[in-house]
């Protein structure tokens, strides 16, 4: 959501201000279809595919959040329950919404719009504002620019609806209700008057209340006396109206976050060698360290921006396990990152900027006299950051207990996060039954010559060609398959703890019960006790 703030003094409009609003009504489906079919999916040949619907949760039901044109053609609408939709049209494909991915995509689109103007703001979940004041002539005038934006986006696989006006509010309304329009300054009143109330960016509740008294177009609202309106529907209504008309100025906030801290270096001679970049990172990090120390903070997220001579910008971002300010560590992390990022230096970079995107209080620690950091957890965190900077976020995992009776399912792996390893183990309820120290990754078949029927232990078994005589045995512990996920005929296991003549202890199981299958049950070794 963009931050919109208003200034109550009318007439403060910068002269000649022009705003281009873009609306991406299909963004979530486009994100999915572009991944599958490539960015040319809208223009190229269309393969056969099911109508696509993106669902999200709303008040405990799944509803349609977005849908492609094929699904629309079936008569489906946003807000309709997924269950209803599927009952009506079983052929539709349904994908769960990923608002975070959509937001990232919209941000990328905003970045991409840098080519037209540096002043790009994100508007809601599916819109952009471009402040193109004084830019249009570079693209052959407003008309040509509008066409260019829409056509280029279409080439990228996006359907964008666009409008140009002198106020963000008017442009917003134009993109949604008057696609392709260019509204001249002063033409807002006329353009708005026929539009429905939704064009004023009002919440649904206010719209409904207005409609119930018959005010269903912006024109009707404009014609009504202001005081009674404000009394009944609140100040927001008039504010929105005034913003759209330009009576009240509305600023759009630039998209790129203003970094908390940033240091940059302009280079007289462009650099392109990785070594040089790394050196620059170290030197920038040292400057940054001073700033951080003054604030008692460390960084949690860093961005390295490399400005190429031709205007292209590479941005490398790092998230950190714990607040950091140590320059060599920062350099190391970017070294890993640079090694795996595809940076095309071409003509070289003319500016380099290191920004702290997020900071957090940094607790100074007494360094050991040896000068080396002996905090193990700290090391572990740094190690993890380095490995992940190089190998990706999923490279490190940690085990987690799962409440399952089946031994091989009683543990699973989750992404590593420093500091939570110990907690997890304690959380899981553990059954009181003894389990072997070592569980084989896969049960290994053993030969059993004779066992007590129906459910006794074997007298001896042969594992990896060695024969073991069973001296003592305890069991059976009967573990049936997890019927709701295993195959219907999955056999039950009878586990035995057995001890051989030399006191070594094994965990064996017989798969299947006697008499339940035509074949004799088979035996396996699944674990070793100490």
Partner 1 sequence: MSTAGPPAYAEFAVQSNFSFLRAASRPEELVITARLYKYKAMGLADRNTVAGVVRAWSKAKVEGLDFHPGCRLVFSNSGPDVLAYPRDRAGWGRLCRMLTVANERGEKGAPDLRQDDFFEWADGMSLAVLPDLSQPEDALLAFLRSARQRFGDAVWLGHAPLYHGDDRWRLEQAAALSRASQLPLMAVNDVLYHDAERRSLLDVVTAIRLNRPIAEVGYELSVNAERHMKPVAEMARLFRRHPQAIAETIRFAQTLKFSLGELTHFYPDETTKDPQAELERLTWEGARKRYPGGLPEKVRQSIVTELELIAQLGYAPYFLTVHDIVRYAREERGILCQGRGSAANSTVCFCLHITEVDPAIHQLLFERFMSVERHEPPDIDVDFEHERRDEVMAYIYEKYSGSHTALAAAVTSYRGRSALREVAKAFGLSQDAQAALSGSIWGWSNDVGEDEARAGGLDTADKVTAHIVRHANELLEFPRHLTQHVGGFIITQDRLDEFVPIIRTAMEERRMVEWDKDDLDAVGLLKVDILALGMLSCLRRCFDLLEQHYGHHWPRRLELTDLHRDQQKAVYDMLCRADSIGVFQVESRAQMSMLPRLKPKEFYDLVIEVAIVRPGPIQGDMVHPYLRRREGKEPEEYPREELRRILGRTKGVPLFQEQVMQIAIEIGGFSASEADQLRRSMATFRRTGRVAMYKERMVRAMVKKGYPEEFALRCFKQIEGFGEYGFPESHAASFALLVYASAWFKAFYPDVFCAAILNSQPMGFYGPGQLVRDAREHGIEVRTVDVNLSQWDATLEESPFDPARIAPKHREMKDVIRSSHAVRLGLRQVKGLAEADMLRLIEQRGSGYTSVRDLWLRTNLSPSVIERLAEADAFRSMGLDRRAALWAARALDRKQAAEGLPLFDRPEVRLPDREPKTKLPVMPLSEHVIRDYRAQSFSLKAHPLAFLRAELAREDIVPNGELDKVRNGRRITVAGVVLIRQRPGSAKGVIFMTIEDETGTANIIVWPKVFETFRPIVLGARLVRVTGKLQSASGVIHVVADRIEDISWRLEKLSEAGQQVDFRSPVDETKRPVVEDRRSRHPSVAMPKGRNFH
Which residues from 16-35 bind partner 1, rule CB under 8 A?
Answer: 25
> Which segment (139-147, 223-231, 298-306, 388-396) binds partner 1 by CB under 8 A?
223-231
> What is the rounded CA–CA span in Å between residue 433 and residue 474?
12
> Which segment (3-11, 144-152, 258-266, 472-480) binds partner 1 by CB under 8 A?
472-480
Nearest approach, Cβ of 73 to partner 1 (angstroms)? Answer: 8
Task: Give residues with Cβ within 8 angstroms of 506, minimum separation 6.
Answer: 436, 463, 468, 497, 498, 499, 500, 525, 527, 528, 529
Nearest approach, Cβ of 478 to partner 1 (angstroms)? Answer: 4
Looking only at residues 84 through 123 of this chain, which bind partner 1 when binding is defined by CB under 8 A? 84, 86-88, 90
- For partner 1, the binding residue among 91, 212, 366, 370 (CB under 8 A) is 212
**Coil, strand or helix at 388:** helix
Cα 345 to Cα 310, 318, 350, distances in angstroms: 10, 20, 10
Looking only at residues 56 through 75 of this chain, which bind partner 1 when binding is defined by CB under 8 A? 57, 60-62, 69, 72-73
Nearest approach, Cβ of 195 to partner 1 (angstroms)? Answer: 6
Taking the least distance from each CB to partner 1, the nearer of 349 and 495 is 495
Nearest-CA neighbor of 25 among 67, 81, 71?
67
> What is the rounded CA–CA span in Å between residue 377 and residue 365?
13
Which residues make beta-bridge pairs with 439? Answer: 527
> Which segment (164-172, 227-235, 255-263, 321-329) binds partner 1 by CB under 8 A?
227-235
Looking only at residues 476 through 505 of this chain, which bind partner 1 when binding is defined by CB under 8 A? 476-480, 482-485, 492, 495-497
Taking the least distance from each CB to partner 1, the nearer of 234 and 419 is 234
Taking the least distance from each CB to partner 1, the nearer of 430 and 450 is 430
Centre a 10 Å sphere on the Cβ of residue 205 and count the other Cβ atoms it contains. Answer: 9
- For partner 1, the binding residue among 107, 154, 220, 351 (CB under 8 A) is 220
Cα 357 off chain centre by: 17
Looking only at residues 279 through 308 of this chain, which bind partner 1 when binding is defined by CB under 8 A? none
Nearest approach, Cβ of 230 to partner 1 (angstroms)? Answer: 11
DSSP 300-318: EEEEEEEEETTS-EEEEEE
> Which segment (217-225, 317-325, 358-366, 381-389) binds partner 1 by CB under 8 A?
217-225
474 binds partner 1 per the rule CB under 8 A: yes
> Which segment (76-84, 114-122, 140-148, 291-299) binds partner 1 by CB under 8 A?
76-84
Taking the least distance from each CB to partner 1, the nearer of 46 and 395 is 46
Task: Give residues with Cβ within 8 angstroms of 231, minimum separation 6.
Answer: none
Q: Which two tokens stand for residue 446?
A: 């053993």
- For partner 1, the binding residue among 11, 47, 214, 503 (CB under 8 A) is 214
Taking the least distance from each CB to partner 1, the nearer of 115 and 435 is 435
> Which segment (2-10, 222-230, 340-348, 355-363) binds partner 1 by CB under 8 A?
222-230
Residue with tokens 């070793």: 528
Nearest-CA neighbor of 484 among 406, 401, 399?
406
Taking the least distance from each CB to partner 1, the nearer of 198 and 396 is 198
Looking only at residues 134 through 173 of this chain, which bind partner 1 when binding is defined by CB under 8 A? 161
Centre a 10 Å sphere on the Cβ of residue 501 and count the other Cβ atoms it contains. Answer: 11
- For partner 1, the binding residue among 24, 129, 172, 177 (CB under 8 A) is 177
Taking the least distance from each CB to partner 1, the nearer of 57 and 317 is 57
Side-chain-side CA neighbours of residue 457 (13 Å) = 23
Task: Give residues with Cβ within 8 angstroms of 161, minimum separation 6.
Answer: 22, 23, 24, 25, 175, 176, 179, 180
Q: Quick one: DSSP state of residue 151?
A: H
Phi, psi at residue 51, to the nearest 5°? -60, 140
Q: Number of residues interacting with partner 1: please give it, by CB under 8 A.
A: 74
Are 492 and 510 in contact by the 8 Å Cβ rule? The answer is: no
Are 508 and 523 in contact by the 8 Å Cβ rule? The answer is: yes
Looking only at residues 184 through 203 of this chain, which bind partner 1 when binding is defined by CB under 8 A? 194-196, 198
Nearest approach, Cβ of 88 to partner 1 (angstroms)? Answer: 6
- For partner 1, the binding residue among 6, 83, 313, 449 (CB under 8 A) is 83
DSSP 469-489: EEEEEEEEEEE---TTTS-TT
Looking only at residues 407 through 466 of this chain, which bind partner 1 when binding is defined by CB under 8 A? 429, 431-434
Nearest approach, Cβ of 204 to partner 1 (angstroms)? Answer: 5
Are 446 and 463 in contact by the 8 Å Cβ rule? The answer is: yes
Nearest approach, Cβ of 274 to partner 1 (angstroms)? Answer: 47
Taking the least distance from each CB to partner 1, the nearer of 69 and 326 is 69
């Amino acid at each position: 959501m963009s931050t919109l703030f208003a200034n109550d003094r009318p007439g403060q409009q910068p002269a000649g201000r022009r705003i281009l609003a873009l609306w991406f009504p299909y963004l979530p489906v486009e994100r999915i279809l572009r991944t599958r079919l490539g960015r040319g999916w809208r223009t190229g040949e269309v393969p056969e595919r099911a109508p696509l619907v993106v669902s999200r949760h709303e008040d405990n039901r799944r509803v349609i959040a977005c849908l492609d044109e094929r699904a629309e053609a079936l008569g489906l609408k946003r807000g309709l329950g997924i269950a209803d939709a599927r009952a009506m049209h079983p052929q539709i494909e349904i994908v769960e919404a990923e608002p975070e991915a959509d937001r990232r995509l919209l941000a990328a689109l905003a970045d991409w719009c840098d080519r037209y103007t540096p002043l790009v703001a994100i508007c809601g979940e599916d819109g952009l504002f471009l402040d193109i004041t004084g830019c249009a002539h570079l693209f052959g005038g407003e008309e040509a620019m509008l066409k260019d934006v829409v056509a280029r986006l279409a080439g990228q696989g996006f359907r964008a609806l666009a409008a140009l006006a002198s106020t963000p509010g008017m442009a917003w309304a134009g993109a949604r209700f008057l696609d392709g329009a260019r509204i001249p300054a002063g033409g807002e009143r006329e353009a708005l008057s026929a539009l429905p109330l939704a064009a004023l960016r009002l919440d649904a509740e206010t719209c409904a209340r207005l409609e119930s008294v018959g005010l269903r177009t912006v024109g009707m609202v404009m014609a009504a006396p202001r005081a009674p309106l404000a009394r009944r529907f609140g100040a927001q209504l008039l504010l929105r109206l005034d913003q759209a008309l330009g009576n009240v100025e509305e600023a759009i906030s630039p998209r790129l976050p203003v970094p908390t801290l940033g240091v940059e270096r302009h280079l007289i001679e462009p650099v392109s060698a990785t070594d040089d970049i790394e050196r620059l990172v170290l030197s920038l990090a040292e400057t940054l360290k001073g700033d951080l120390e003054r604030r008692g903070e460390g960084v949690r997220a860093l961005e390295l921006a490399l400005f190429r001579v031709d205007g292209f910008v590479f941005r490398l971002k790092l998230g950190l396990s714990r607040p950091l300010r140590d320059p060599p560590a920062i350099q190391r992390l970017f070294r890993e990152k640079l090694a795996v990022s595809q940076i095309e230096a071409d003509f070289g970079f003319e500016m380099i900027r290191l920004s702290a995107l997020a900071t957090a209080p940094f607790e100074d620690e007494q360094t050991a006299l040896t000068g080396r950091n002996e905090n193990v957890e700290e090391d572990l965190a740094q190690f993890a950051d380095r490995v992940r900077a190089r190998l990706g976020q999923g490279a490190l995992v940690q085990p987690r207990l799962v409440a399952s009776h089946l031994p091989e399912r009683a543990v699973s792996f989750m992404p590593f996060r420093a500091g939570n390893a110990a907690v997890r183990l304690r959380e899981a309820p553990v059954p009181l039954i003894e389990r072997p120290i070592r569980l084989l990754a896969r049960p290994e078949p053993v030969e059993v010559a004779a066992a007590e029927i129906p459910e006794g232990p074997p007298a001896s078994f042969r594992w990896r060609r060695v024969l073991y005589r069973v001296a003592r045995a305890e069991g059976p512990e009967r573990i049936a398959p997890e019927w709701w996920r295993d195959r219907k005929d999955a056999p039950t296991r009878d586990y035995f703890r057995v001890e051989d003549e030399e006191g070594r202890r094994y965990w064996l199981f017989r798969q299947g019960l006697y008499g339940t299958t035509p074949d004799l049950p088979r035996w396996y070794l699944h674990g070793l006790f100490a």
